[in-house]
């Protein structure tokens, strides 16, 4: 995904059937916080849940063979030192840095524009937590 720096929101959801149509519901908070606007159009990426078996998809060949999507590991490890620029602030006030498409790192006591060296302290499927080791605050 080439537009990973333009991701507006990241969430997990189940695909539901409503009146015979598959539907993924957006979290209300994305609209309430102004991240998304009702009536606007957005591009959406659907990724398999890590650690679960992705459904087989037909590869288009007449043999009926199927292929499986690989299960991705988180792009960071606990104890790893990384450098980030804080790009956003989360609902609870933690700074947010992004690693590749769709993976976020929450960094407490930072603000947008801070350049920080962090130690990754907890790694989860879709996100991680880190503590600041060194910071270069936003000037201004």
Decide: residue 128, CB within 10 A, 0-12 exposed, 13-18 middle, 19+ buried: buried
pTM for the model: 0.50
- Domain boundaries of the chain, sorted by first residue: 81-136
Q: Which residues pair with 130 in a beta bridge?
A: 120
- Read off the pLDDT band of 104 (50, 70, 90): very high
Would you state the pLDDT for residue 40? 84
3 state SS of 5: helix
Question: Where is average pLDDT lowest: 2-6, 29-33, 34-38, 133-137?
Answer: 2-6
pLDDT at 123: 94
For residues 128 and 139, give the distance between their C-alpha atoms in angstroms, rounded to a whole number. 27
pLDDT at 27: 72
Which of 44, 40, 30, 47 lies closest to 88, judged by CA?
A: 30
Quick one: DSSP state of residue 43? -
d(CA 126, CA 72): 10
Is-contact 98 104, C-beta < 8 A?
yes
Q: What is the pLDDT of residues 49-100, one digit of tens each?
A: 654 444 444 444 333 434 444 456 889 999 999 999 999 998 889 999 998 7
Architecture of domain 81-136: Beta Barrel (2.40)
């Amino acid at each position: 995904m080439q537009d990973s720096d333009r991701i507006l929101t990241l969430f997990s959801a189940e695909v539901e059937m409503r009146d015979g149509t598959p539907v993924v519901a957006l979290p209300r908070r994305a609209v309430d916080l102004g991240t998304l606007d009702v009536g606007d159009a957005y591009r959406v990426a659907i990724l398999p849940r890590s650690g679960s078996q992705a459904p087989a998809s037909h590869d288009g060949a007449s043999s009926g063979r199927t292929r499986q999507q690989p299960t991705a590991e988180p792009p960071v490890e606990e104890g790893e030192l990384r450098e980030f620029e804080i790009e956003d602030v989360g609902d609870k006030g933690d700074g947010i840095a992004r690693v590749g498409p769709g993976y976020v790192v929450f960094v407490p006591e930072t603000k947008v524009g801070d350049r920080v060296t962090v130690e990754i302290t907890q790694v989860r499927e879709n996100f991680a937590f880190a503590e600041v080791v060194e910071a270069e605050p936003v000037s201004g």
